[in-house]
């Protein structure tokens, strides 16, 4: 459908007293400069599909007219389908829609569709009802008959505009499209009588204009299309955005706009004595003597008792609805609510005035020509005790503590009979945040185990209202997903025991709550468990791109205003242990354009933190950018982290203790509750299986995995269960799982390697080798895993081919001599086969030097030392490996054997207990290498 957007035809917004809801047909007005005739060159070959784009506008006192003339060629059937349906929106109470031309140009001949009887149909289409806006918009539509591929469809029309509220003033706007827009002919033209004082302004880069007097008219012509607009960074402040328009106005200045509209908001006599409104005002006056509290009560009345509904038709674009009518209807737009609030405040003895603002334009307002069309909002400016207060009747849930807040607006224009200048508003954070996130984390089971949480997330204002509305319309599953989505923004992936939401209309707040369980956020780093407890800095994104020379002098916008408070409490496993904080306990007052604040406390086994971040719409100046980047980088490097004690019990010791003191019961209960909520959810069973396996409850884990597989079979579930079957010495079941997994994903190398190892351990080495050789023969880099597995099987005692195994790896290492993983693999195979141990040490040492994670190579080198009888050196490497991999059964088992050789029997016994808890088959594994306890 060919649709002319409102931005093209109605940017000069006004409301007329006499206008028609029918489409008029008439020749173009005589002030229109006719576009050049369409030539044959413009409708053939690679010529642009847009043959003509002519946008003209006339400003004349209180009247304005916008004229559009377009011609488009139907190059393809798809374009034909789109062009054949015309749609022109207009506001009938703001002016008439007149069609001047409707033609098809075919083979140089013109077909007059109007003369042929084709006429537009008028439809009423309210496009903003979901936003509580009734505009009175009409749409003229026509399905063009007889249009063919190759035809040129030419349409010209005009819309007249006028508004009594503007007195003798008006404004007009024309569009200035830029490349890659192409047209055979395009221009933008503005005219007004020379005798009238008017101003014009264009904003786009590369504007080439011709300005002249033509008879008694002044004319400005913009050649189109403009050059391609220069690329700009996404974080460019809105005040530097270039609008693709040229506009003209006959307002002298902002004061002229102010004094013109001020009479619309005079309140004298608007509240009749004894009326319903008068009684409401009297009740407030009787209840409150403090002007501040009176103002707040009046604001609450307007916000809470009058719903928002904008009715722009029938002269309502600029003229507010009378307060008595607003109170009777119990609805109104920003104009109606502002006038109602003003009348109440004046009745209560509070000094107040209306002020225009722009929610959409932001700081661009200050760059625009003075006119009423620049603004899309109005609110009340009150003065109480020498302080300026901003009261917005269209807000929701404002309370006394909010009354000093600054609105998220950059400029306002007070409406005064004497006129007023445009004013910039200061930037500051609101008293109350838009969001309060409260998290309670229960980590008492231990830092290596899952974490329970209770979440409460409060949002307020219009966003809360919209969210509550969406939740009320959703079905049970949609509502659950919506609430969980809010919570997982704070928790990450989680399993939920419960989630809920409540909306408080009186305070316009929505509070989402939830309980659940997450994977432990603690990470082992430099031999200590650590957890990032910073929320604010981690979520900041300050990565402005000013690499281009043309961008280096541009400031950086830091986003729209809004504030969030994060509160968290952590219950830690052992209140008597030496928990520590590292990083910055405080935050800079200002960082990356945001105001920040942090308070922390660590008291025994409880850690609490409260952080607040407020975006206030600040900018970072170009000359401050380097320093701000450095401050941001420093803040990231100094994130606050909680550090666990150095001497934590190992997992095996924690599990044994937990079996006695019941610390894991809340976690088991939570996971079971998740399953009970949705017993057909495979992931819930898989999560509990993982937890149970971590407690060495293999039978319980196998049972959960079996149920999960029944619900939703997958390679991941099959391989997890197979590993547990192996631990439980059930190789037949494990083999079946691996075979099923391979059937699900035949090209999964991990499954193939596991299947080959199990096949060999069950005594069928030829079959295992055949599987691996087939994979090796396929080539590619991924074959390396199969080569390593074959070498390990060959080097083991039953394989009996250690030298051949080493030779197999020699060939691969020769291809990739700097691969730490391959060097470690060769060292390990030499240790398994008990051959070339001197060069095994060299391989492992080189692997340790090259690797980012030296644990596996330290273990392999320790095995070589063990084979050589160098137990002290083996123990040193094993201690280092255990610090890196504290849950490695291989490391703990070999250390147990090493400590036995050194006579450290008590420590050896502890290691052996832990190793066999982590892997019940670890002794059998080392027996295959010829190593026994």
Chain centre to alpha carbon of residue 450? 27
Give burial (CB, 10 Å; 0-12/13-18/19+) of 364.
Answer: buried
Q: If you search the block for the tokens 């408080």, which residue do you land on? A: 504
Cα–Cα distance for residue pair 861/649, rounded to 1 Å: 26
Cα distances from 212 to residues 66, 189, 190, 209, 369, in angstroms, run: 20, 11, 11, 10, 20
Give the pair of three-digit tokens for residue 825.
Answer: 């693999």
Angle at 715 between CA 710 and CA 720, to 5 degrees: 80
Of the candidate CATH numbers 1.25.40.10, 3.40.50.2300, 3.90.730.10, 3.40.50.300, the domain formed by 794-933 belongs to 1.25.40.10
Residue with tokens 């007293």: 17
Q: Shortest CA distance to 860 belongs to which of 884, 887, 876, 841? A: 841
> Which one, of 531, 570, 572, 562, lies nearest residue 439 by Cα?
570
In 3D space, the residue among 133, 255, 261, 617 whose CA is nearest the CA of residue 407 turns out to be 617
Compute the distance between CA of residue 664 and CA of residue 876 in angstroms, rounded to an integer.
34
Domain covering 2-249 assigned CATH 2.60.40.3140 in the classification: yes
Secondary structure in 3-state letters for 329-384: HCEECHHHHHHHHHHHHHHCCCEEEEEEECCCCHHHHHHCCCCHHHCCEEEEEEEE
pLDDT computed for residue 19 by the predictor? 52
Given this model, what pLDDT does residue 9 score? 43
Nearest alpha-carbon partner for 281 in 226, 377, 381, 348: 348
Let me know if 477 is exposed, middle or buried by CB neighbors in 10 A (0-12, 13-18, 19+). exposed
* Sole residue written with tokens 């499209």: 177
In angstroms, how far is CA 365 from the centroid of its own chain?
Answer: 27
Q: Are 399 and 365 in contact (CB under 8 A)?
A: no
In contact, 700 and 692? CB cutoff 8 Å = yes
Phi-psi bin for 707: left (phi > 0), alpha (psi -120 to 50), beta?
alpha
**pLDDT recorded at residue 219:** 97
Neighbours of 736 (CB within 10 A): 15
What pLDDT is stored for residue 465 in this prediction?
A: 85
The segments of the chain whose pLDDT lies below 70 read 1-19, 125-136, 312-316
Which pLDDT belongs to residue 170? 95
**Cα separations (Å) of 573 from 440, 442, 451, 838?**
14, 9, 11, 45
- pLDDT for position 227: 95
* 8 Å CB contact between 199 and 369: yes
- Burial annotation 877-911 (CB, 10 A radius, 16+ → b, else e): bbebbbebbbbbbbbbbbbbbbbbeeebeeebebb
Tokens of 446: 């231990």
* Fold adopted by 256-424: C8orf32 fold (3.10.620)
User: Are residues 144 and 113 in contact, defined by beta-carbon separation less than 8 angstroms?
Assistant: yes
The Cα–Cα gap between 794 and 806 comes to: 9
- Give the model's pLDDT for residue 507: 83
- Contact yes or no for 44/107 (Cβ under 8 A): no
Q: pLDDT tens digit string along 820-852?
A: 999 999 999 999 999 999 999 999 999 999 998
Handedness of CA 270, 271, 277, 282 (dihedral sign): positive
The whole-angstrom separation of Cα 815 and Cα 844 is 18
Q: Which residue has the tokens 């989630």?
A: 499
What span, in angstroms and rounded, lies between the C-alpha atoms of 774 and 769? 8
The first and second tokens of residue 714, run together, are 């997958």
Helix 749-761 / helix 783-795 crossing angle, nearest 10 deg: 10
On whether the CB atoms of residues 572 and 645 are closer than 8 A, the answer is: no
Say if residue 233 is exposed, middle or buried (CB neighbours under 10 Å; 0-12, 13-18, 19+): middle
Compute CA 506 distance to the chain's CA centroid, rounded to the nearest angstrom.
29
Distant-in-sequence, close-in-space partners of 272: CB < 8 Å, separation ≥ 6: 278, 324
Question: Cα separations (Å) of 773 from 742, 743, 762, 779, 788?
Answer: 17, 19, 18, 10, 11
> Following DSSP, what letter does each residue of 269-318 receive, concatenated?
T-S-TTSHHHHHHHHHHHH--SHHHHHHHHHHHHHHHSEE-EE-TTTTTT
**Which of 2.60.120, 3.30.70, 2.40.50, 1.10.3470 would CATH assign to domain 520-648?**
2.60.120
Q: What are phi and psi of 502, to 5 degrees?
A: -130, 140
Helix (H, G, I), strand (E, B) or coil at 866: helix
- Out of 1.10.287, 3.40.50, 2.60.120, 3.30.70, select the CATH number for domain 450-519: 3.30.70
Over the stretch 381-414, which tens digit does the pLDDT of each residue have?
A: 999 999 999 999 999 888 899 999 999 999 999 9
Write the CB contacts of 334 (distance below 8 Å, at least 6 apart in sequence).
Answer: 308, 310, 377, 378, 379, 392, 393, 394
Helices (H), 315-410: 323-329, 334-347
Burial readout 8-20 (b: 16 or more C-beta within 10 A, e: otherwise): bbbbbbbbbeebe
Nearest to residue 15, comparing CAs of 67, 90, 87? 90
Asked whether the beta carbons of 94 and 13 are under 8 A apart, the reply is yes
* Whether 598 contacts 585, CB under 8 Å: yes
- Six token digits for residue 321: 């609805």
- Extract the tokens encoding 565: 């408070």
Provide the CA 68 distance to its chain's centre, in angstroms.
39
Q: How far apart are the C-alpha atoms of 148 and 77, rounded to whole Å?
A: 8
- Closest by Cα among 794, 776, 787 to 809: 787
Domain residue extents for the chain: 2-249, 256-424, 450-519, 520-648, 794-933
Rg over alpha carbons for the chain, rounded to the nearest Å, is 38
Given its phi and psi angles, is residue 133 left (phi above 0), alpha (psi -120 to 50 degrees) or beta? beta
CA-CA distance, 307 to 303, in Å (whole number)? 7
Query: Other CB atoms closer than 10 Å to residue 97's CB: what's the count?
Result: 25
- H helix or E strand, kind and range, residue 65: strand 63-73
Burial 75-89 (b: 16+ CB within 10 A, else e): eeeeebeebbebbbb
Report yes or no: 243 and 362 within 8 Å, Cβ to Cβ. Answer: no
CA distance 209 to 151: 32
What pLDDT does residue 134 have?
Answer: 61
Sequence-distant (6+) residues with CB within 8 A of 827 are 840, 841, 843, 844, 847, 857, 860, 861, 864
């Amino acid at each position: 459908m060919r649709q002319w957007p409102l931005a093209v035809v109605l940017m000069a917004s006004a409301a007329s007293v006499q206008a028609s809801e029918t489409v008029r047909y008439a020749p173009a007005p005589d002030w229109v400069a006719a576009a050049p005739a369409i030539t044959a060159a413009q409708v053939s070959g690679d010529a642009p599909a847009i043959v003509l784009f002519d946008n003209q506008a006339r400003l004349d006192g209180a009247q304005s007219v916008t004229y559009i003339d377009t011609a488009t060629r139907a190059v393809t059937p798809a374009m034909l389908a789109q062009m054949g349906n015309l749609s022109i929106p207009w506001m009938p109470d703001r002016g008439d829609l007149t069609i001047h031309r409707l033609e098809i140009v075919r083979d140089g001949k013109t077909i007059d569709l109007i003369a042929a009887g084709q006429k537009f149909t008028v439809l009423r289409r309210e496009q903003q009802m979901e936003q509580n806006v009734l505009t009175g918009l009409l749409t003229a539509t026509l399905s063009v008959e007889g249009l063919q591929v190759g035809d040129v469809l030419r349409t010209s029309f005009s819309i007249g505009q006028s508004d009594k509220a503007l007195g003798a003033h008006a404004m007009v706007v024309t569009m200035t499209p830029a490349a890659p827009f192409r047209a055979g002919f395009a221009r933008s033209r503005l005219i007004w009588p020379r005798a009238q004082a008017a101003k014009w302004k264009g904003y786009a880069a590369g504007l080439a204009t011709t300005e002249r007097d033509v008879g008694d008219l002044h004319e400005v012509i913009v050649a189109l299309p403009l050059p391609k607009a220069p690329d700009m960074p996404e974080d460019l402040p809105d005040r530097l955005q270039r609008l693709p328009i040229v506009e003209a106005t006959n307002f002298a200045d902002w004061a002229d706009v102010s004094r013109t509209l001020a009479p619309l908001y005079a309140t004298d006599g608007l509240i009749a004595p004894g009326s319903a409104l008068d009684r409401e005002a009297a009740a407030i006056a009787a209840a409150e003597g403090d002007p501040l509290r009176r103002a707040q009560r009046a604001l609450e009345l307007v916000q809470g008792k009058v719903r928002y509904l904008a009715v722009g038709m029938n002269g309502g674009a600029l003229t507010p609805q009378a307060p008595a009518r607003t109170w009777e209807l119990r609805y109104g737009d920003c104009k109606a609510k502002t006038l109602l609030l003003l009348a109440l405040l004046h009745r209560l003895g509070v000094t107040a005035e209306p002020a225009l603002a722009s929610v959409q334009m932001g700081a661009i307002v200050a760059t625009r020509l003075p006119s009423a069309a620049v603004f899309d909002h109005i609110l009340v400016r009150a003065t109480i005790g020498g302080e300026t207060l901003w009261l917005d009747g269209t807000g929701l849930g404002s309370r006394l503590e909010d009354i000093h807040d600054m609105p998220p607006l950059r400029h306002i224009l007070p409406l005064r009979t004497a006129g007023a200048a445009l004013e910039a508003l200061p930037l500051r954070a609101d008293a109350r945040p838009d969001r309060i996130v409260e998290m309670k984390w229960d980590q008492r089971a231990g830092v290596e185990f899952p974490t329970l949480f209770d979440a409460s997330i409060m949002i307020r204002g219009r966003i809360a209202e919209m969210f509550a509305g969406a939740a009320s319309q959703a079905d049970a599953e949609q509502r659950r997903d919506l609430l969980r989505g809010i919570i997982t923004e704070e928790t990450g992936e989680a399993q939920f025991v419960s989630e809920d939401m409540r909306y408080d209309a009186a305070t316009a707040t929505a509070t989402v709550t939830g309980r659940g369980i997450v994977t432990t956020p603690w990470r082992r780093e430099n031999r200590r468990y650590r957890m990032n407890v910073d929320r604010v800095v981690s979520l900041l994104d300050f990565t402005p791109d000013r690499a281009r020379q043309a961008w280096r002098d541009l400031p950086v916008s830091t986003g729209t205003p809004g504030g969030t408070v994060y509160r968290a409490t952590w219950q830690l496993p052992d209140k008597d242990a030496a928990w520590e904080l590292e990083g910055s306990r405080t935050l800079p007052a200002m960082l990356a354009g945001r105001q920040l604040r942090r308070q922390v406390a660590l008291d025994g086994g409880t850690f609490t933190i409260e952080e607040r971040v407020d975006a206030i719409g600040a900018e970072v100046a170009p000359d401050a950018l380097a320093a701000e980047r450095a401050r941001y980088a420093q803040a990231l490097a100094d994130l606050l982290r909680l550090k666990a004690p150095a001497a934590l019990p190992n997992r095996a010791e924690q599990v044994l203790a937990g079996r006695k003191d019941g610390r894991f019961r809340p976690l088991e209960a939570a996971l079971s509750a998740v399953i009970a909520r949705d017993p057909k959810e495979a992931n819930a069973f898989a999560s509990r299986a993982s937890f149970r396996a971590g407690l060495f409850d293999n039978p319980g884990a196998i049972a959960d995995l079996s149920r999960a597989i029944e619900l939703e079979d997958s390679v991941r579930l099959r391989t997890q269960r197979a590993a547990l079957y192996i631990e439980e010495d059930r190789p037949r079941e494990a083999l079946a799982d691996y075979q099923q997994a391979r059937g699900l994903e035949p090209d999964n190398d991990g499954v193939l390697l596991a299947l080959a190892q199990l096949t060999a351990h069950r005594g069928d080495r030829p079959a295992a080798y055949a599987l691996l050789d087939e994979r090796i023969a396929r080539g590619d880099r991924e074959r390396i895993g199969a080569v390593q597995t074959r070498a390990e099987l060959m080097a083991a005692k039953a394989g009996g081919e250690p030298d051949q195994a080493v030779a197999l790896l020699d060939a691969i290492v020769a291809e990739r001599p700097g691969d730490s993983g391959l060097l470690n693999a060769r060292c390990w195979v030499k240790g398994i086969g008990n051959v070339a141990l001197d060069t095994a040490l060299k391989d492992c040492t080189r692997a340790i030097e090259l690797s980012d994670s030296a644990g596996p190579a330290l273990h392999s080198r320790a095995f070589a030392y063990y084979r050589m009888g160098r137990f002290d050196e083996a123990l040193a490497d094993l201690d280092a490996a255990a610090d890196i991999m504290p849950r490695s059964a291989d490391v703990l088992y070999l250390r147990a054997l090493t400590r036995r050789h050194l006579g450290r029997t008590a420590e050896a016994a502890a290691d052996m207990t832990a190793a066999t808890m982590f892997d019940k088959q670890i002794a059998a594994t080392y027996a295959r290498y010829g190593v026994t306890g």
